[in-house]
Amino acid sequence: MSVIIPAFQEEAGIAGVLSGLRAALEARRGDLVEEFELLVVDDGSSDGTAAAAERCGARVVRHPTNMGYGRTLLTGFQNARFDWLLMIDADGSYPPDQVLKVLEEGAGFDMVIGARQGAFFWGSPFRALLRRIYLFIAGFVAGVRIPDANSGLRLVHKPVLTVTMPVLCYGYSFSTTMTLSFLQGGRFVRFVPIAFRERQGKSKVSMLRDILRTLQIMVQVVLYYNPLKFAAVLAMIPGALCAAFSLRHLAFGSFGDLALAVQCGLSALFVFLFGCLLDSLRIRNKGL
Protein backbone atom coordinates (compact mmCIF):
# COMPACT_ATOMS: atom_id res chain seq x y z
CA MET A 1 0.00 0.00 0.00
CA SER A 2 1.24 3.48 -0.87
CA VAL A 3 0.39 6.20 1.66
CA ILE A 4 0.28 9.46 -0.30
CA ILE A 5 0.66 12.66 1.69
CA PRO A 6 0.33 15.94 -0.24
CA ALA A 7 2.17 18.71 1.58
CA PHE A 8 2.65 22.44 1.19
CA GLN A 9 4.42 24.51 3.84
CA GLU A 10 3.96 21.79 6.49
CA GLU A 11 7.47 21.77 8.00
CA ALA A 12 6.19 22.21 11.54
CA GLY A 13 3.82 19.24 11.57
CA ILE A 14 4.93 16.75 8.91
CA ALA A 15 7.26 14.81 11.25
CA GLY A 16 4.46 14.16 13.75
CA VAL A 17 2.08 13.02 11.00
CA LEU A 18 4.64 10.62 9.51
CA SER A 19 5.74 9.15 12.84
CA GLY A 20 2.12 8.61 13.89
CA LEU A 21 1.25 6.94 10.59
CA ARG A 22 4.30 4.69 10.67
CA ALA A 23 3.60 3.58 14.25
CA ALA A 24 -0.07 2.83 13.52
CA LEU A 25 0.68 0.86 10.34
CA GLU A 26 3.61 -1.05 11.84
CA ALA A 27 1.38 -2.11 14.76
CA ARG A 28 -0.93 -3.86 12.27
CA ARG A 29 1.74 -5.20 9.89
CA GLY A 30 0.99 -8.79 8.90
CA ASP A 31 -2.60 -8.40 10.10
CA LEU A 32 -4.19 -5.44 8.33
CA VAL A 33 -1.16 -4.17 6.42
CA GLU A 34 1.57 -6.01 4.53
CA GLU A 35 4.11 -3.81 2.75
CA PHE A 36 3.64 -0.06 2.73
CA GLU A 37 5.46 3.10 1.77
CA LEU A 38 5.11 6.68 2.97
CA LEU A 39 5.19 8.95 -0.08
CA VAL A 40 5.23 12.70 0.53
CA VAL A 41 4.59 14.97 -2.45
CA ASP A 42 5.96 18.43 -1.67
CA ASP A 43 3.99 20.95 -3.72
CA GLY A 44 6.69 23.60 -4.12
CA SER A 45 7.11 24.43 -0.43
CA SER A 46 9.57 27.20 0.41
CA ASP A 47 10.16 25.91 3.94
CA GLY A 48 11.80 22.67 5.09
CA THR A 49 8.82 20.37 4.46
CA ALA A 50 10.72 18.04 2.09
CA ALA A 51 13.81 17.80 4.32
CA ALA A 52 11.70 17.09 7.41
CA ALA A 53 9.85 14.31 5.56
CA GLU A 54 13.10 12.74 4.35
CA ARG A 55 14.50 12.74 7.89
CA CYS A 56 11.46 10.70 8.93
CA GLY A 57 12.24 8.07 6.29
CA ALA A 58 9.54 9.01 3.80
CA ARG A 59 10.09 8.94 0.06
CA VAL A 60 9.72 12.49 -1.23
CA VAL A 61 8.72 13.74 -4.67
CA ARG A 62 8.96 17.49 -5.21
CA HIS A 63 7.17 19.94 -7.47
CA PRO A 64 9.39 22.82 -8.61
CA THR A 65 6.44 25.19 -8.10
CA ASN A 66 3.07 25.12 -6.37
CA MET A 67 0.56 23.25 -8.57
CA GLY A 68 -2.43 22.75 -6.28
CA TYR A 69 -3.90 19.95 -4.19
CA GLY A 70 -5.25 17.80 -7.02
CA ARG A 71 -2.11 17.94 -9.14
CA THR A 72 -0.07 17.00 -6.07
CA LEU A 73 -2.18 13.91 -5.50
CA LEU A 74 -1.93 12.93 -9.17
CA THR A 75 1.86 13.10 -8.87
CA GLY A 76 1.57 10.79 -5.88
CA PHE A 77 -0.59 8.33 -7.82
CA GLN A 78 1.87 8.31 -10.70
CA ASN A 79 4.83 7.62 -8.39
CA ALA A 80 3.13 5.09 -6.09
CA ARG A 81 4.65 1.61 -6.02
CA PHE A 82 1.53 -0.26 -4.94
CA ASP A 83 -2.02 -0.70 -6.30
CA TRP A 84 -3.79 0.33 -3.09
CA LEU A 85 -3.45 4.04 -2.36
CA LEU A 86 -4.16 5.70 0.98
CA MET A 87 -4.57 9.48 0.77
CA ILE A 88 -4.13 11.54 3.91
CA ASP A 89 -3.50 15.26 4.45
CA ALA A 90 -0.28 16.47 6.06
CA ASP A 91 -1.95 18.89 8.50
CA GLY A 92 -2.44 16.44 11.38
CA SER A 93 -6.24 16.67 11.31
CA TYR A 94 -6.68 12.90 10.83
CA PRO A 95 -5.64 10.84 13.89
CA PRO A 96 -3.55 7.75 12.94
CA ASP A 97 -6.00 5.35 14.60
CA GLN A 98 -8.73 6.61 12.25
CA VAL A 99 -6.59 5.51 9.31
CA LEU A 100 -6.88 1.94 10.58
CA LYS A 101 -10.69 2.26 10.67
CA VAL A 102 -10.66 3.12 6.98
CA LEU A 103 -8.30 0.24 6.13
CA GLU A 104 -10.47 -2.26 8.02
CA GLU A 105 -13.40 -1.47 5.70
CA GLY A 106 -11.47 -1.79 2.43
CA ALA A 107 -12.37 -5.33 1.42
CA GLY A 108 -14.67 -5.44 -1.60
CA PHE A 109 -14.80 -1.68 -2.18
CA ASP A 110 -13.17 0.44 -4.87
CA MET A 111 -12.90 3.38 -2.48
CA VAL A 112 -13.36 3.87 1.26
CA ILE A 113 -13.80 7.45 2.47
CA GLY A 114 -13.28 8.62 6.03
CA ALA A 115 -16.43 10.69 6.70
CA ARG A 116 -15.42 13.38 9.18
CA GLN A 117 -17.46 14.01 12.32
CA GLY A 118 -17.48 16.58 15.10
CA ALA A 119 -17.18 20.30 15.72
CA PHE A 120 -13.95 20.84 13.80
CA PHE A 121 -15.58 19.42 10.67
CA TRP A 122 -18.77 21.49 10.81
CA GLY A 123 -17.17 24.70 12.12
CA SER A 124 -19.24 27.84 12.77
CA PRO A 125 -23.03 27.85 12.23
CA PHE A 126 -22.58 29.73 8.94
CA ARG A 127 -19.90 27.34 7.73
CA ALA A 128 -22.03 24.36 8.81
CA LEU A 129 -24.99 25.74 6.80
CA LEU A 130 -22.82 26.13 3.70
CA ARG A 131 -21.44 22.62 4.17
CA ARG A 132 -24.92 21.10 4.47
CA ILE A 133 -26.06 22.87 1.29
CA TYR A 134 -22.93 21.70 -0.48
CA LEU A 135 -23.45 18.09 0.66
CA PHE A 136 -27.11 18.23 -0.41
CA ILE A 137 -26.09 19.34 -3.91
CA ALA A 138 -23.36 16.69 -4.05
CA GLY A 139 -25.87 14.04 -2.98
CA PHE A 140 -28.32 15.18 -5.64
CA VAL A 141 -25.63 14.98 -8.32
CA ALA A 142 -24.58 11.49 -7.22
CA GLY A 143 -28.07 10.19 -6.47
CA VAL A 144 -27.10 8.98 -2.98
CA ARG A 145 -26.61 10.55 0.44
CA ILE A 146 -23.03 11.76 0.87
CA PRO A 147 -21.88 12.44 4.46
CA ASP A 148 -18.50 13.88 3.38
CA ALA A 149 -17.63 14.55 -0.26
CA ASN A 150 -14.16 16.06 0.09
CA SER A 151 -12.52 14.16 2.92
CA GLY A 152 -8.74 14.06 2.66
CA LEU A 153 -8.57 10.55 4.12
CA ARG A 154 -9.51 7.79 1.70
CA LEU A 155 -8.38 4.41 0.43
CA VAL A 156 -8.66 3.80 -3.30
CA HIS A 157 -7.76 1.05 -5.76
CA LYS A 158 -5.33 2.46 -8.31
CA PRO A 159 -6.55 0.50 -11.39
CA VAL A 160 -10.09 1.85 -10.85
CA LEU A 161 -8.80 5.36 -10.22
CA THR A 162 -6.94 5.34 -13.53
CA VAL A 163 -10.25 4.98 -15.39
CA THR A 164 -11.72 8.10 -13.73
CA MET A 165 -8.64 10.34 -14.09
CA PRO A 166 -9.86 12.15 -17.25
CA VAL A 167 -12.65 13.90 -15.28
CA LEU A 168 -10.57 14.79 -12.21
CA CYS A 169 -9.49 18.38 -11.58
CA TYR A 170 -6.14 19.70 -10.35
CA GLY A 171 -7.30 21.98 -7.53
CA TYR A 172 -8.88 21.73 -4.11
CA SER A 173 -12.02 20.18 -5.63
CA PHE A 174 -10.09 17.04 -6.58
CA SER A 175 -11.53 15.02 -3.68
CA THR A 176 -15.12 16.02 -4.47
CA THR A 177 -14.61 15.17 -8.14
CA MET A 178 -13.23 11.77 -7.20
CA THR A 179 -16.19 11.03 -4.92
CA LEU A 180 -18.78 12.01 -7.52
CA SER A 181 -16.95 10.26 -10.37
CA PHE A 182 -16.80 6.96 -8.49
CA LEU A 183 -20.46 7.13 -7.44
CA GLN A 184 -21.72 8.22 -10.87
CA GLY A 185 -19.50 5.61 -12.52
CA GLY A 186 -21.11 2.76 -10.58
CA ARG A 187 -18.10 2.02 -8.37
CA PHE A 188 -18.34 0.51 -4.89
CA VAL A 189 -17.85 3.29 -2.35
CA ARG A 190 -18.11 3.11 1.44
CA PHE A 191 -18.20 5.99 3.94
CA VAL A 192 -16.70 5.26 7.36
CA PRO A 193 -17.36 7.75 10.22
CA ILE A 194 -14.08 9.04 11.65
CA ALA A 195 -12.96 11.55 14.26
CA PHE A 196 -11.53 14.82 12.97
CA ARG A 197 -9.39 17.28 14.87
CA GLU A 198 -8.15 20.83 14.39
CA ARG A 199 -5.45 21.15 11.77
CA GLN A 200 -1.90 22.21 12.62
CA GLY A 201 -0.74 25.43 11.02
CA LYS A 202 -2.66 27.76 8.72
CA SER A 203 -5.27 26.53 6.25
CA LYS A 204 -4.57 27.13 2.55
CA VAL A 205 -8.28 26.95 1.63
CA SER A 206 -10.07 30.01 0.26
CA MET A 207 -13.67 29.25 1.17
CA LEU A 208 -15.57 31.37 -1.38
CA ARG A 209 -13.22 30.58 -4.26
CA ASP A 210 -13.21 26.87 -3.53
CA ILE A 211 -17.01 26.67 -3.05
CA LEU A 212 -17.54 28.28 -6.46
CA ARG A 213 -14.93 26.03 -8.04
CA THR A 214 -16.53 22.96 -6.43
CA LEU A 215 -19.97 23.91 -7.76
CA GLN A 216 -18.43 24.24 -11.22
CA ILE A 217 -16.88 20.79 -10.88
CA MET A 218 -20.24 19.33 -9.78
CA VAL A 219 -21.90 20.70 -12.91
CA GLN A 220 -19.10 19.26 -15.08
CA VAL A 221 -19.37 15.85 -13.43
CA VAL A 222 -23.17 15.61 -13.74
CA LEU A 223 -22.94 16.71 -17.40
CA TYR A 224 -20.33 14.03 -17.99
CA TYR A 225 -22.22 11.20 -16.28
CA ASN A 226 -25.91 12.21 -16.28
CA PRO A 227 -26.70 15.23 -18.50
CA LEU A 228 -30.43 14.40 -18.49
CA LYS A 229 -30.61 15.02 -14.74
CA PHE A 230 -28.97 18.43 -15.12
CA ALA A 231 -31.23 19.35 -18.04
CA ALA A 232 -34.34 18.26 -16.12
CA VAL A 233 -33.45 20.50 -13.18
CA LEU A 234 -32.60 23.40 -15.49
CA ALA A 235 -35.90 22.95 -17.35
CA MET A 236 -37.80 23.34 -14.07
CA ILE A 237 -37.02 27.08 -14.04
CA PRO A 238 -38.81 28.02 -17.29
CA GLY A 239 -41.35 25.28 -16.50
CA ALA A 240 -42.26 26.97 -13.22
CA LEU A 241 -42.49 30.35 -14.99
CA CYS A 242 -44.75 28.77 -17.61
CA ALA A 243 -47.08 27.52 -14.88
CA ALA A 244 -47.11 30.94 -13.17
CA PHE A 245 -47.89 32.86 -16.37
CA SER A 246 -50.56 30.31 -17.30
CA LEU A 247 -52.30 30.83 -13.96
CA ARG A 248 -52.17 34.61 -14.44
CA HIS A 249 -53.69 34.21 -17.89
CA LEU A 250 -56.51 32.08 -16.50
CA ALA A 251 -57.12 34.57 -13.70
CA PHE A 252 -56.94 37.84 -15.65
CA GLY A 253 -57.27 36.81 -19.31
CA SER A 254 -54.07 38.61 -20.30
CA PHE A 255 -52.75 37.52 -23.70
CA GLY A 256 -49.33 38.90 -22.72
CA ASP A 257 -49.19 36.31 -19.95
CA LEU A 258 -50.28 33.63 -22.41
CA ALA A 259 -47.45 34.56 -24.81
CA LEU A 260 -44.91 34.44 -21.97
CA ALA A 261 -46.30 31.09 -20.81
CA VAL A 262 -45.86 29.64 -24.31
CA GLN A 263 -42.31 30.98 -24.57
CA CYS A 264 -41.33 29.59 -21.17
CA GLY A 265 -42.98 26.26 -21.92
CA LEU A 266 -41.09 25.93 -25.22
CA SER A 267 -37.83 26.87 -23.48
CA ALA A 268 -38.37 24.16 -20.86
CA LEU A 269 -39.14 21.64 -23.61
CA PHE A 270 -36.04 22.57 -25.63
CA VAL A 271 -33.75 22.34 -22.58
CA PHE A 272 -35.17 18.93 -21.66
CA LEU A 273 -34.88 17.60 -25.23
CA PHE A 274 -31.30 18.88 -25.43
CA GLY A 275 -30.57 16.93 -22.24
CA CYS A 276 -32.11 13.83 -23.84
CA LEU A 277 -29.83 14.31 -26.85
CA LEU A 278 -26.72 14.66 -24.66
CA ASP A 279 -27.74 11.58 -22.66
CA SER A 280 -28.24 9.49 -25.79
CA LEU A 281 -24.79 10.56 -27.03
CA ARG A 282 -23.32 9.62 -23.65
CA ILE A 283 -24.88 6.14 -23.81
CA ARG A 284 -23.78 5.70 -27.42
CA ASN A 285 -20.19 6.73 -26.67
CA LYS A 286 -20.11 4.50 -23.60
CA GLY A 287 -20.98 1.51 -25.77
CA LEU A 288 -18.22 2.21 -28.32
pLDDT digits (tens, 9 = 90+) for 181-207: 899 888 999 999 999 988 765 665 566
Instruction: Name the DSSP letter for residue 199.
Output: P
Residue pLDDT, tens place only, 122-179: 888 888 888 888 888 888 888 899 999 989 999 999 998 887 765 566 666 788 888 9
- Domain 2-225 class, CATH top level: alpha beta
Residue pLDDT, tens place only, 30-72: 889 989 999 999 999 999 999 999 999 999 999 999 998 889 9
Distance CA 163, CA 102 (A): 22
Identify the pLDDT of residue 288: 46
CA distances from 244 to 72, 257, 263, 272 (A): 50, 9, 12, 19
Identify the pLDDT of residue 186: 87
pTM of the model: 0.81
Identify the pLDDT of residue 162: 81
Cβ(260)–Cβ(243) below 8 Å: no
Work out the mean pLDDT of the chain and round it to a whole number: 89
Q: Is the pLDDT of residue 253 over 90?
A: no
Identify the pLDDT of residue 282: 79
Instruction: Name the DSSP letter for residue 41.
Output: E
Distance CA 36, CA 23 (A): 12
The CA angle 106-112-113, to the nearest 5 degrees, is: 150
